[in-house]
């Protein structure tokens, strides 16, 4: 399987040659970070600053029978202790307009501080601000609290049973969707064979290196300033709502984020800081410990995914019935949307005309789940891609061949009936990823080589009925340098660099001449969240609009000076020049001064609006959800030691059509980094809870890949130029992760001859599977 | 109990004579002294973000009490170079795409410095061994390894031309 | 932050022993890579830490006749860079290469690793096959105790609260002896062992095994030797049938926690692989 694959030739594409875009330039943020000059959230201090700590629930389900903070308040050096009473029962509203899950979520938003019931270990109950961390910690120990333990539920399927303890009335359903496309019964009747499998996947921790942190203070205008590492500047609105202050009295000053991956999409420390700064009138700092960052922030949703697929003997899918059960943990947060993403991508990059998807997310007394790179897409892919291999195996066909005849093509429709309007290079990517593995290593009796691949499709840009927008302000200074103001949070993926590189391209200056101010809700135009693989698409387009406006003003004025038509001019190397005769030119500083003296403005604020649509059809789940999709594939070769259960990853190759690589080095970084997270998902990561108690509280127990675990992924970058981002770019941030884990799972199944249906693929599970396959080989019953 | 103890720390170009509580880790002490390029990632020696050179050896500063470092010479990442005059390793990291979120970078640079000081021409495996105590969640490590290789290459050529040592 | 404790820096070994003996809840500290983690988690609640790693009596690696004495304060990095360890105690050198990670190895000490006695302590199986003794000192005097007896139960040893590990003493195996070490964890480095195994075999010129030592860690509450398996090998050439039996016996000697029974299979496999390697190498040596 998966050998001697010849890559399918690429369709012709016509990509214009550009000056700055498409080059692996040194990122604008790189040197400051490399020399340690970047001031992260925890690196900042204010005079007269207090230090905060959070008192958290030690129980997964309990009533707070008594909460007495008077002794803690009386401790010298304690500035304030706040409880749910002091926050007036404020809640963290998830600030997303538009359609939510079908089940009502009213009343189920997480309280800022629990005052009656606690629903997971780590739930915040009280806040302390003190003169030092040591005093704050001592005050935590002086908080007197009594709990009455309550019945609890720790499994989403249990939570849906009628006798389950209810986290929120009327039931534990947090979200529920149904897709009804075509005629399932007819499709199944038409099938030669029906293949059914159930796959599970665990909680996963984001494990960003920078624990959540921030500093807040109230300024002379009464504005609560919060300097925080966040993916979402716009949370100032939910914070204002929780504090009951006007929205223009909360200012989020985002920092360079030391990794987010979706976890810093939720409100974390900033809400506590806002309350404490207002209460004390002093600057307050809150830094989570690593253990707190694990216990008190979201996780990737565990899913149980069942595929029942009707297929013809040649592998063609005639019908598919998919069920998904997701674990929401104790509070909904972004669960309804994560489940919607998983549901809307449930059938994968395949043409499935007769399709039912039924998905549900249930509340349990465990750490809450929310956004994590891929946002339900990776769980969906672990379902459809393992199922594709099982179909191929059942039919005795090559797994790539089964995929090939089912791949969605441009113009065909996805799970929700949305037409794919850009290039759908599934086959181009799959064949290249597999080809890159080269020759297969030989197996021995106890060291079995396996190969696996996985295709995927993944949205970029937010759900279109969120009516997403981004703004950017671009100005050309009189010395020809460029200033960019854009509220894009940079979470390490090169968000700010990409838009700088676009501005450099369009305004004809070297990248070093562009300076960006980002992530300040008061002074940078709001650019929306650094989530959903949307910043290059949204803010890239906003910057493009702003730059093009300035560019046209420059060309118009230069045209007058040079006596050359605007269309015959270009910008580059900090000058405007005639394309036919580059000696006819005017330097940008001269042109900028000329414009200034004549009152021609060289700054512009632009807004990019994504397409706006309505929600899905409530009966059929059909409709358009996302602006566009990225397609790609991942392939791996690995060795399984059938005696020890060890897995050695030998080769890893990923191929993605990124539309256009604005900075190929950054794209490679996304692909290699995303795939490593996916490989860890498959092979070692498991945020384990036992009866609601965390078993993997730190980096000593929760293991993420080190530099020695896996070879570097061979990143193959294709450019169809057909994306809806600037210069035809698609998104790659989330897609990079999605296919890696199913590729590994398929390779292990290939090596062993049996499928392990649960992640991660630990030595223990491998040895169990070897035993199963051994029994099969003997012909004895399982 | 636990009165402050006076210690001397030589950190980069600065000499600090300070009183510290016995329980203060070198990590916290350095950060409080303004050396915030030393990052706090886990406080249990698992992530390497707080790595510094302690008398030339790379260690997790969270696993050393400040009092244990009395009299020691400590080099942090910021002690190697600046924006205007980056260290060759720092520049190589920036150029190789080794820097994404940047939070692991100071520790990675320190581990690299320790490696190249004793082995200027490391193999890929030696590079990976040397970085085995430093976690990165963004890059998948490939471009970090590239950054170390680039630094080693530039180091070799700068030595040939009589330039600065690592 | 860490909880409050005093920090005491003694002037001499005697001073250190006196401090440990007289200060309530005093713990010796050297590298601190286990201790500080335990203090942070609250598992250990010291009132004072007594610095010991720098004491002359705990430093250095030296040869005394047919024995090598490793100061308890020797870091894993020092073990790794010591040519004598590499050439004469390759099994310990190999174990050190799998120990935690590069940064931790610069702080963690061999004495600390044994004093902590985690079931997965990486140096323990290697030192067990080297028949190591632990040298302890207190104000009451000095004693030397076999490592097997020293390691009592998980995170417990026979070290009294007022005792300090001074050194680990091992006899240098005969030149012909072959030592091997193998570790399996959930990732390749920087993790606790799921299973680790050390073997040390000596042969006469006819290829008959004259001494066999097999030890395993993480597969039982405490690292331990597999004496039955050793007896199976001694007096015989290292034939596949012997290897199989010794591997089975080692696996049977493992006592994994409920739910981790698979570790017996892993032990069996790892012992087999190590002995197979030695059999091949032995064959090569004899031409």
**pLDDT tens sequence across C63-72:** 999 999 999 9
C128 phi and psi, to 5 degrees? -65, -45
Q: Which residue of C has its CA nearest to A136?
A: C1
pLDDT at position A774 is 78
Specify the domain boundaries for CATH 1.10.150.120 within chain B.
81-159
Question: In this model, does residue A373 exceed pLDDT 50?
Answer: yes
pLDDT at position A220 is 98
Question: In this model, does residue A780 exceed pLDDT 80?
Answer: no
Question: In this model, does residue A174 exceed pLDDT 80?
Answer: yes
Tell whether A684 lies on the interface with C, counting CB pairs under 8 A. yes
Tell whether A289 lies on the interface with C, counting CB pairs under 8 A. no
- Which of A133, A703, A705 faces C1 most closely, judged by CB atoms? A133
pLDDT at position B163 is 61
Architecture of domain B81-159: Orthogonal Bundle (1.10)
- How many CA atoms does the CB half-sphere of A606 hold within 13 Å? 22
Which DSSP state fits C105?
A: H
Which DSSP state fits A104?
A: -
Asked if B64 lies within 8 A of C189 by C-beta distance, the reply is: no
All partners of chain A with 3 or more CB pairs under 8 angstroms: B, C
Question: In this model, does residue A743 exceed pLDDT 50?
Answer: yes
User: Of A167-176, A267-276, C42-51, which gets the smallest average pLDDT?
Assistant: A167-176
User: Does CATH place domain B5-79 in 3.40.640.10?
Assistant: no
Q: What whole-number percentage of chain C has pLDDT above 90? A: 94
Tokens of A556: 């118009």
Asked if A763 lies within 8 A of C194 by C-beta distance, the reply is: yes
Q: Which residues of C fall within a CB distance of 8 Å from A762?
A: 186
Asked if C5 lies within 8 A of B1 by C-beta distance, the reply is: yes
What average pLDDT score do residues A734-746 get? 98
pLDDT at position A96 is 52
pLDDT at position A1 is 72
Which B-chain residues 102-161 have CB contacts (< 8 A) with chain C?
A: 111, 129-134
pLDDT at position C3 is 95
Cβ neighbours around A782 below 10 Å, total:
8
Asked if C51 lies within 8 A of B133 by C-beta distance, the reply is: no
Length of chain B: 166
CA distance C52 to chain B (A): 11
All partners of chain C with 3 or more CB pairs under 8 angstroms: A, B
User: Of A557-571, A605-619, B140-154, which gets the smallest average pLDDT?
Assistant: A605-619
For C211, counting Cβ atoms within 10 Å of its Cβ (0-12 exposed, 13-18 middle, 19+ buried), the class is: middle
Question: In this model, does residue A18 exceed pLDDT 90?
Answer: yes
All partners of chain B with 3 or more CB pairs under 8 angstroms: A, C
Using CA atoms, how far apart are residues A567 and A564, in angstroms rounded to an integer? 8
Measured CA angle at A572 (ends A552, A727), to 5 deg: 70
A416 phi and psi, to 5 degrees? -95, 10
- Which of A31, A211, A673 faces B100 most closely, judged by CB atoms? A673
Asked if B100 lies within 8 A of A40 by C-beta distance, the reply is: no
A241 phi and psi, to 5 degrees? -65, -45
Q: Which residue of C has its CA nearest to B133?
A: C101
pLDDT digits (tens, 9 = 90+) for A47-77: 999 999 999 999 999 999 999 999 999 999 9
Q: Which residue of B has its CA nearest to C78?
A: B57
Tell whether B23 lies on the interface with C, counting CB pairs under 8 A. yes
**Whole-number average pLDDT of chain A:** 95
DSSP run (H or E) holding C14 = helix C13-22
- Which of B31, B83, B141 faces A31 most closely, judged by CB atoms? B83
Q: Which residues of B fall within a CB distance of 8 Å from C27?
A: none
Tell whether A580 lies on the interface with C, counting CB pairs under 8 A. no
**Whole-number average pLDDT of chain B:** 96
* Interface residue of A25, A26, A204, A209 to substitute, partner B, most B CBs within 10 Å: A209
Residue A393 near residue A382 (C-beta atoms within 8 A)? no
Using CA atoms, how far apart are residues A301 and A355, in angstroms rounded to an integer? 24
pLDDT at position A98 is 38
Q: Which residues of C fall within a CB distance of 8 Å from A706?
A: 101, 187-190
Length of chain C: 287
- Which of A26, A210, A700 faces B103 most closely, judged by CB atoms? A210
Q: Which residues of B fall within a CB distance of 8 Å from A700?
A: 44, 46
- Which of A446, A700, A763 faces C262 most closely, judged by CB atoms? A763
Residue A338 near residue A316 (C-beta atoms within 8 A)? no
Q: Which residues of C fall within a CB distance of 8 Å from B23?
A: 1-5
pLDDT at position B20 is 97
pLDDT at position C287 is 45
pLDDT at position A508 is 98
Asked if A644 lies within 8 A of C190 by C-beta distance, the reply is: no
Among B94, C182, B88, CA closest to A25:
B94
Q: Which residues of B fall within a CB distance of 8 Å from A684?
A: none
Q: Which residue has the tokens 């061949």?
A: A401
Tell whether A643 lies on the interface with C, counting CB pairs under 8 A. yes
- Which of A644, A684, A708 faces C270 most closely, judged by CB atoms? A644
Tell whether C191 lies on the interface with A, counting CB pairs under 8 A. yes
Tell whether B18 lies on the interface with C, counting CB pairs under 8 A. no
Specify the domain boundaries for CATH 3.10.20.30 within chain B.
5-79
CA distance C185 to chain B (A): 14
- How many CA atoms does the CB half-sphere of C2 hold within 13 Å? 35
Which A-chain residues 427-456 have CB contacts (< 8 A) with chain C?
A: 446
Asked if A137 lies within 8 A of C1 by C-beta distance, the reply is: yes
Using CA atoms, how far apart are residues A95 and A625, in angstroms rounded to an integer? 19
What average pLDDT score do residues A538-561 get? 98
Q: Which residue of C has its CA nearest to A762?
A: C186
- Which of B40, B86, B139 faces A669 most closely, judged by CB atoms? B139
Q: Which residues of A fall within a CB distance of 8 Å from B97?
A: 24, 27, 30, 665-666, 668-669
- How many CA atoms does the CB half-sphere of B139 hold within 13 Å? 28
Q: Which residue of A has its CA nearest to C195?
A: A644
Q: How many CB pairs under 8 A join B and C?
A: 88
Residue B2 near residue B61 (C-beta atoms within 8 A)? no
pLDDT at position A407 is 98
- Can you list the positions of beta strands (E) in A622-685? 628-641, 647-657
pLDDT at position A196 is 98
Among A701, C109, C42, CA closest to B59:
C109
Asked if A38 lies within 8 A of B41 by C-beta distance, the reply is: no
- Which of C49, C106, C190 faces B58 most closely, judged by CB atoms? C106
* Interface residue of B2, B7, B20, B23 to substitute, partner C, most C CBs within 10 Å: B23
pLDDT digits (tens, 9 = 90+) for A246-280: 999 999 999 999 999 999 999 999 999 999 999 99
Asked if C3 lies within 8 A of B23 by C-beta distance, the reply is: yes
Structure confidence at residue A335 as a pLDDT band (50, 70, 90)? very high
Asked if C269 lies within 8 A of A709 by C-beta distance, the reply is: no
Tokens of A116: 């009656």
Using CA atoms, how far apart are residues A54 and A126, in angstroms rounded to an integer? 6
Residue A211 near residue A269 (C-beta atoms within 8 A)? no
CA distance C187 to chain A (A): 6
Q: C-alpha A540: how far from its chain's center?
A: 18
Length of chain A: 782
Residue A209 near residue A267 (C-beta atoms within 8 A)? no
* Interface residue of C258, C266, C273 to substitute, partner A, most A CBs within 10 Å: C266
Using CA atoms, how far apart are residues A182 and A780, in angstroms rounded to an integer? 42
pLDDT at position A94 is 64
pLDDT digits (tens, 9 = 90+) for C124-162: 999 999 999 999 999 999 999 999 999 999 999 999 999
Q: Which residue of C has its CA nearest to A683?
A: C186
Q: What whole-number percentage of chain B has pLDDT above 90? A: 93
Global pTM reads 0.97
Using CA atoms, how far apart are residues A695 and A690, in angstroms rounded to an integer? 7
pLDDT digits (tens, 9 = 90+) for C159-197: 999 999 999 999 999 988 999 999 999 999 989 999 999
Asked if A34 lies within 8 A of B91 by C-beta distance, the reply is: yes
Structure confidence at residue A615 as a pLDDT band (50, 70, 90)? confident
Q: How many CB pairs under 8 A join A and B?
A: 180
Q: Which residues of C fall within a CB distance of 8 Å from A688?
A: none
pLDDT digits (tens, 9 = 90+) for A432-483: 999 999 999 999 999 999 999 999 999 999 999 888 999 999 999 999 999 9
């Amino acid at each position: 399987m998966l050998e001697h694959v010849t890559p399918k030739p690429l369709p012709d594409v016509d990509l214009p040659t550009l000056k700055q875009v498409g080059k692996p330039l040194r990122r604008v943020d790189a040197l400051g970070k490399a020399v340690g000059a970047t001031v992260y959230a925890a690196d900042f201090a204010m005079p007269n600053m207090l230090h905060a700590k959070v008192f958290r629930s030690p129980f997964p389900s309990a009533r707070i029978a008594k909460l007495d903070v008077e002794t803690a308040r009386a401790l010298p050096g304690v500035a304030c202790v706040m409880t749910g009473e002091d926050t007036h029962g404020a809640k963290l509203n998830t600030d997303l307009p538009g359609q939510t899950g079908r089940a009502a979520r009213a009343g189920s938003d997480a309280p800022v501080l629990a005052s009656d019931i606690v629903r997971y270990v780590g739930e915040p109950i009280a806040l302390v601000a003190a003169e030092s961390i040591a005093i704050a910690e001592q005050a935590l120990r002086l908080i007197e609290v009594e709990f009455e333990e309550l019945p609890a539920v720790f499994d989403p399927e249990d939570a849906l049973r009628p006798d389950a303890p209810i986290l929120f009335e009327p039931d534990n359903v947090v979200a529920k969707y149904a897709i009804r496309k075509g005629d399932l019964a007819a499709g199944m009747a038409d099938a030669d064979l029906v293949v059914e499998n159930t796959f599970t996947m665990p909680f996963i921790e984001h494990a960003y290196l920078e624990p959540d942190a921030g500093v807040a203070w109230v300024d002379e205008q009464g504005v609560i300033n919060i300097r925080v590492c966040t993916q979402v500047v716009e949370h100032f609105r939910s914070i204002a709502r929780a504090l009951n202050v006007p929205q223009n009295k909360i200012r989020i000053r985002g920092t360079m984020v030391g990794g987010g991956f979706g976890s810093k999409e939720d409100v974390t420390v900033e809400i506590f800081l806002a309350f404490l700064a207002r209460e004390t009138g002093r600057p307050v700092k809150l830094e989570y410990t690593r253990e707190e960052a694990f216990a008190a922030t979201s996780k990737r949703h565990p899913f149980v995914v069942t595929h029942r697929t009707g297929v013809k003997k040649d592998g063609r899918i005639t019908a598919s019935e998919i069920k998904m059960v997701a674990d929401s943990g104790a509070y909904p947060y972004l669960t309804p949307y994560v489940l919607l993403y998983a549901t809307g991508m449930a059938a994968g990059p395949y043409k499935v005309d007769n399709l039912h998807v039924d998905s549900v997310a249930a509340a349990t007394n465990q750490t809450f789940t929310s956004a994590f790179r891929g946002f339900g897409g990776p769980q969906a892919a672990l379902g459809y891609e393992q199922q594709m291999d099982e179909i191929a195996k059942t039919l005795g066909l090559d797994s790539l061949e089964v995929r090939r005849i089912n791949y969605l093509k441009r113009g065909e429709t996805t799970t929700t009936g949305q037409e794919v309007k850009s290039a759908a290079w599934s086959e181009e990517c799959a064949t290249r990823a597999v080809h890159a593995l080269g020759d297969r290593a030989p197996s021995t009796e106890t060291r079995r080589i396996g190969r696996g691949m996985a295709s995927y499709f993944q949205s970029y840009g937010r759900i279109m009925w969120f009516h997403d927008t981004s703004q950017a302000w671009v100005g050309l200074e009189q010395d020809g340098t460029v200033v960019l103001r854009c509220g894009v949070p940079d979470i390490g993926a090169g968000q700010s660099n990409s838009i700088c590189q676009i501005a450099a391209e369009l305004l004809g200056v070297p990248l070093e001449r562009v300076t960006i101010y980002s992530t300040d809700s008061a002074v940078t135009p709001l650019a929306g969240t650094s989530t959903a693989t949307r910043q290059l698409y949204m803010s890239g387009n906003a910057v493009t609009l702003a730059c093009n406006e300035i560019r046209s003003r420059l060309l118009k004025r230069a045209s007058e000076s040079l006596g050359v038509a605007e269309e015959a001019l270009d910008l580059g190397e900090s000058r405007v020049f005639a394309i036919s005769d580059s000696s006819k030119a005017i330097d940008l500083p001269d042109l900028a001064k000329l414009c200034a003296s004549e009152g021609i403005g060289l700054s512009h604020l632009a807004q990019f609006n994504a397409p706006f649509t309505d929600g899905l059809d409530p009966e059929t789940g059909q409709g358009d959800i996302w602006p566009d999709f990225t397609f790609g594939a991942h392939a791996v070769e690995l060795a399984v030691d059938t005696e020890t259960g060890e897995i050695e990853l030998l080769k890893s190759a990923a191929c993605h059509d990124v539309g256009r690589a604005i900075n190929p080095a950054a794209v490679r970084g996304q692909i290699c980094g995303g795939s490593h997270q996916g490989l860890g998902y498959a092979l070692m990561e498991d945020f384990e809870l036992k009866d609601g108690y965390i078993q993997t509280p730190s980096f000593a127990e929760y293991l993420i890949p080190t530099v020695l675990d896996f070879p570097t992924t061979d990143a193959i970058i294709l450019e169809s130029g057909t994306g809806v981002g600037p210069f035809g770019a698609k998104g790659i941030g989330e897609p990079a992760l999605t296919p890696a884990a199913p590729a590994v799972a398929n390779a292990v199944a290939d090596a062993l001859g049996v499928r392990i249906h649960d992640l991660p693929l630990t030595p223990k599970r491998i040895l169990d599977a070897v035993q199963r396959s051994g029994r099969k080989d003997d012909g004895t019953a399982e | 109990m636990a009165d402050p103890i006076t210690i001397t720390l030589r950190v980069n170009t600065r000499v600090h004579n300070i009183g510290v509580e016995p329980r203060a880790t070198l990590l916290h002490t350095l950060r409080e002294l303004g050396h915030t390029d030393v990052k706090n990632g886990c406080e249990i020696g698992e992530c390497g973000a707080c790595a510094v050179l302690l008398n030339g050896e790379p260690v997790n500063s969270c696993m050393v009490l400040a009092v244990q470092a009395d009299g020691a010479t400590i080099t942090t990442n910021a002690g190697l170079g600046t924006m205007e005059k980056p260290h060759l390793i720092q520049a190589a990291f920036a150029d190789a795409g080794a820097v994404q979120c940047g939070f692991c970078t100071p520790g990675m640079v320190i581990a690299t410095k320790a490696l190249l000081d004793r082995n200027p021409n490391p193999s890929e495996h030696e590079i990976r061994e040397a970085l085995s105590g430093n976690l990165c969640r963004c890059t998948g490590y490939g471009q970090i390894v590239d950054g170390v290789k680039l630094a080693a290459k530039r180091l070799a050529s700068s030595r040939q031309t009589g330039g600065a040592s690592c | 932050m860490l909880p409050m404790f005093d920090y005491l820096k003694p002037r001499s070994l005697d001073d250190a022993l006196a401090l440990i003996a007289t200060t309530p809840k005093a713990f010796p500290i050297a590298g601190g890579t286990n201790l500080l983690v335990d203090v942070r988690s609250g598992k250990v609640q010291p009132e004072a830490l007594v610095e010991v790693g720098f004491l002359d009596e705990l430093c250095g690696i030296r040869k005394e006749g047919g024995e090598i004495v490793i100061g308890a304060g020797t870091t894993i990095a020092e073990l790794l860079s010591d040519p004598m360890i590499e050439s004469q105690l390759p099994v310990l050198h190999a174990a050190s290469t799998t120990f935690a990670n590069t940064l931790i190895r610069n702080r963690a000490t061999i004495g600390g690793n044994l004093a902590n006695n985690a079931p997965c302590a990486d140096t323990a199986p290697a030192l067990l096959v080297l028949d190591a003794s632990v040298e302890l000192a207190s104000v009451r005097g000095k004693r030397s105790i076999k490592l097997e007896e020293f390691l009592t139960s998980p995170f417990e040893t026979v070290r009294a609260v007022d005792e300090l590990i001074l050194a680990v003493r091992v006899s240098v195996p005969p030149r012909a002896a072959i030592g091997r070490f193998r570790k399996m964890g959930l990732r390749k480095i920087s993790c606790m062992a799921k299973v680790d195994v050390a073997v040390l075999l000596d042969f006469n010129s006819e290829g008959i095994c004259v001494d066999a030592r097999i030890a395993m860690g993480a597969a039982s509450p405490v690292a331990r030797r597999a004496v039955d398996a050793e007896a199976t090998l001694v007096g015989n050439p290292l034939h596949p049938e012997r290897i199989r039996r010794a591997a089975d016996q080692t696996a049977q000697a493992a006592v994994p926690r409920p739910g981790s029974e698979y570790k017996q299979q892993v032990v069996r496999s790892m012992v087999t692989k190590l002995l197979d390697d030695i059999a091949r190498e032995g064959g090569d040596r004899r031409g």
